[in-house]
Amino acid sequence: MTTLSSLPQTAKNFMPPHSNTMKMNTPNLTALSPSFSSSSSSNVSTGNFISRKLFFLHHIHIFELFVAVFVFVAINSLRQKKRHGLPVWPVVGMLPSLVSALGNNTYEWISDVLVKQNGTFIFRGPSFSSLNCVVTADPRNLEHLLKTKFSNFPKGPYFRDTVRDLLGDGIFSADNETWQRQRKTASIEFHSAKFRQLTIESLLELVHARLLPVLAESLKYSTQLDLQDVLLRLTFDNVCMIAFGVDPGCLRQGLPQIPFAKAFEYATEATVLRFVTPTCIWKAMRYLDIGLEKKLKIWIKAVDEFAQNVIQTRKKELASRCDDPDDNEKNKQRSDLLTVFMRLKDDNGQPFSDKFLRDICVNFILAGRDTSSVALSWFFWLLDRNPEVEEKILGELCRIVGERDVDELKKEESSETGVVFRPEEIKKMDYLQAAISEALRLYPSVPVDHKEVVEDDKFPDGTVLKKGTKVIYAIYAMGRMEAIWGKDCREFKPERWLRDGRFMSESAYKFTAFNGGPRLCLGKDFAYYQMKFVASSILYRYHVKVVKDHPVVPKLALTMYMKHGLKVNLLKRQGSELQKYFKSFN
Ligand code: HEM
């Protein structure tokens, strides 16, 4: 039993004085009235007075008890903070801490808890919710999860069920054979020479015919530019070219609103909101066709119509060209994912259904749509704060183009396009690759990811995992763990990626920005090429100055967007500025 003396001092401070003697004093209360036995009326009023007092005392008693219980529970919950990393409240568990963290930088909050808990903690949600999960940033656990026991940690039915309306059975949400089949085919495609050629050509066109003119216009009219928005448009157009073989034109002059791009963006956001809405509620809303679910249906319909249109047009194109030998040659050269999957047959020797083709393309667009653009946005923001890194990148770019024939370089510089970096030059940019990797280490495009446990298991750090448990791996927090990156883990230091001036990659279970194991990002090499090509083409021409006092904070979403975009001013680099670097190599 809890006695007053056994309660901590804080609890005692909450107790009314004499509370432990109250019961003893109660019978004597009547004696406190001087006219207790003088008349019947006074008897009645005295009786009322006593019953009121008793009533009052009874309530004091309940109130006291309530306070005592509250204090006891509060102290007990707060004591648990030491053991579990966060206070655990009856019924609601750790939810109050999560709710208060949602208003601030939630990723920093998760990082702090994980640092204090040596890399892993169990989030205890309300007893009535499905929020219970294990959160980890321990590389040993990640290797176990993503590689060693891969088949025990699929995306799981909960994830698939939540995203099915938008993503169908595409690679991003599928598990087992459905995933394996798409992964195998797409992987062959992603590593083919034809695909590389497609990515190189589409990027060249987008950067030189679209991106740089948009930047030049902003300079001409001295307007501020939301660099994140421009980069998102660039990668959306680019990934649509790769997945569908069509260019939606988001990055055209005047930056138009493209209905398909908007529908895709809204549909993704609304799908993500399902994860924080109780399943029964969003399912009921979907059934009743009301609220956000009604809008989601409209946006998904717009995505489907666009996909259907492209699929039908391509089918006709392929059928008509089959009759024409010249066109047939052109057909063979098409290497976008849609055409590749259209040429293949399923296990029964039948062409893939339109629905399956739609799912494949929509999933690739989702995977490659904004990951590289948000990574580049954080990279440019970090450069603004670390000018010495920008200097080193410029030094590297000038050293690499400086290897070209001087006359040839001068001729290209004075041409309409200016210097166009070549694929073999992009490959040589080790310092730039290190700086982009360092930006991704600190601001990974996918800040947290999740899996579900199939059979009871145990992490290498000893955490017990019950069947059905959700596991969250906190990629953002991993970049802030001294145990992984050392005392300077929060500093932006591209040098940590270099050995003798050459870029050295890290274990995927330590640097998990691209995931790891069998589900390693399929677009990793392409994404590096894309980011290096875009960054070098901009930096060679412009100094990107972030607008003073522009607030830069991450948005809570599947991808690590900047909540308020990245407002910048561009300053043209003068030839004399670049000459400084060229001279240092001669
Ligand atoms: C900086 C750029 C990028 C980053 C940081 C990144 C990161 C990731 C991550 C963390 C995953 C695992 C997601 C999960 O399973 O939940 C992933 C998967 C994937 N990524 Fe990327 N990605 C990038 C760019 C791209 C691009 C440009 C493409 C395609 C054009 C792409 C295609 C894919 C695909 C297809 C998957 C699914 C792989 C699978 O489940 O087997 N990614 N990526």
Is 107 contained in some domain?
no
Residue 43 has pLDDT above 80, yes or no: no
- pTM of this prediction? 0.85
Taking 50 as the threshold, does the pLDDT of residue 143 lie above it?
yes
125-139, 285-299, 324-338, 433-447: least confidently modelled range: 324-338
Inform me whether the pLDDT recorded for 151 exceeds 50.
Answer: yes
Known binding-site residues for heme equal 521
Measured in angstroms, how far is the CA atom of residue 371 from the centroid of ligand 1? 8
Residues 356, 207 share a domain: yes
Q: Which comes out higher in pLDDT, residue 345 or 372?
A: 372
| Burial of 368 from C-beta contacts in 10 A (0-12 / 13-18 / 19+) | buried
pLDDT confidence tier of residue 223, bands split at 50, 70 and 90: very high
574 in any annotated domain: yes
Q: Give the whole-angstrom CA distance, residue 353 versus residue 10.
A: 68
Residue 523 CA to ligand 1 center (angstroms) comes to 6
**Assigned domain for 114 exists:** no
Which CATH number do you get for residue 500? 1.10.630.10
Q: How many C-beta atoms surround the C-beta of residue 502 within 10 A?
A: 11
Return the number of other C-beta atoms located less than 10 Å from residue 251's C-beta.
Answer: 25
Residue 92: inside a domain: no
pLDDT at 24 over 50: no
Separation of CA 333 and ligand 1 centre (Å): 25
> Are the C-beta atoms of residues 221 and 569 closer than 8 Å to each other?
no
Indicate the annotated binding residues.
Answer: 521
CA of 421 to the centre of ligand 1 (A): 25
From the alpha carbon of 186, which atom of ligand 1 is closest? 35
Same structural domain for residues 56 and 180? no
Query: Measured in angstroms, how far is the CA atom of residue 170 from the centroid of ligand 1?
Result: 13
Evaluate: CB of 199 within 6 angstroms of ligand 1: no
Among residues 36, 51, 84, the one where a domain terminates is: 84
Instruction: Determine the average pLDDT of the residues in 440-466.
Output: 97
Q: Is residue 66 part of a domain?
A: yes
Same domain, 313 and 416: yes
Ligand 1 atom showing the smallest separation from residue 531 Cα:
1
Token pair recorded at residue 167? 């993503």
Expressed in angstroms and rounded, the spacing between residue 109 Cα and the centre of ligand 1 is: 25
Q: Judge if the beta carbon of residue 559 lies within 6 A of ligand 1.
A: no
Q: What is the DSSP letter of 506?
A: -
Q: Whole-angstrom Cα distance, residue 425 to residue 529?
A: 11
Contact 116/453 with Cβ under 8 angstroms? no
Out of 337, 371, 531, mutate this one to test ligand 1's pocket (max ligand atoms within 8 Å of CB): namely 371
User: How many Å lie between the centroid of ligand 1 and the Cα of residue 24?
Assistant: 72
- For the ranges 152-161, 321-330, 419-428, 543-552, which has the lowest average pLDDT? 321-330
Residue 80 shares a structural domain with residue 195 = no
- With a 6 Å cutoff on the Cβ, whether 508 touches ligand 1 is no
User: Is any ligand 1 atom within 6 A of the Cβ of residue 367?
Assistant: yes
What pLDDT is stored for residue 332 in this prediction? 54
Question: How does the average pLDDT of the chain come out, rounded?
Answer: 86
Question: Is residue 65 domain-shared with residue 200, that is, in the same domain?
Answer: no
* Boundary residue ending a domain (84, 107, 124): 84
CA dihedral 562, 517, 125, 555 (to 10 degrees): 0
10: confidence class by pLDDT, cuts 50, 70, 90: very low
How confident is the model at residue 11, as a pLDDT?
A: 35
pLDDT tens profile 322-336 = 666 555 555 556 788
**Going by C-beta distance under 8 Å and a sequence separation of 6 or more, which residues neighbour residue 113?**
85, 86, 121, 135
* Residues 412, 423: Cα–Cα separation, whole Å: 16
Q: pLDDT tens, 389-422? A: 999 999 999 999 999 998 998 899 888 889 999 9
Instruction: Please indicate whether residue 579 or residue 47 has the higher confidence score (pLDDT).
Output: 579
In a domain, 146, yes or no: no
Q: What is the residue with the minimal CA distance to atom 43 of ligand 1? A: 521
Question: Residue 33 pLDDT > 70, yes or no?
Answer: no
Query: Quick one: pLDDT band at residue 180, thresholds 50, 70, 90?
Result: very high
Q: What share of the chain is helix, strand, coil (3-state, %, to 5)?
A: 60, 10, 30
Instruction: Give the residue, out of 521, 524, 526, 559, with the most ligand 1 atoms within 8 A of its beta carbon, to mutate for a pocket test.
Output: 521
Q: Last residue of a domain, which of 60, 84, 108?
A: 84
| 429/539 same-domain check | yes
The reply to whether 150 falls in a domain is: no
Q: Give the Cα separation of 64 and 62 in Å (integer).
A: 5
Structurally, the chain folds into a number of domains equal to: 2
**What pLDDT is attached to residue 486?**
97
Across the range 474-499, mean pLDDT stands at 98
Residues of the domain holding 200: 156-585
Q: Is 375 in the pocket of ligand 1 (CB under 6 A)?
A: yes
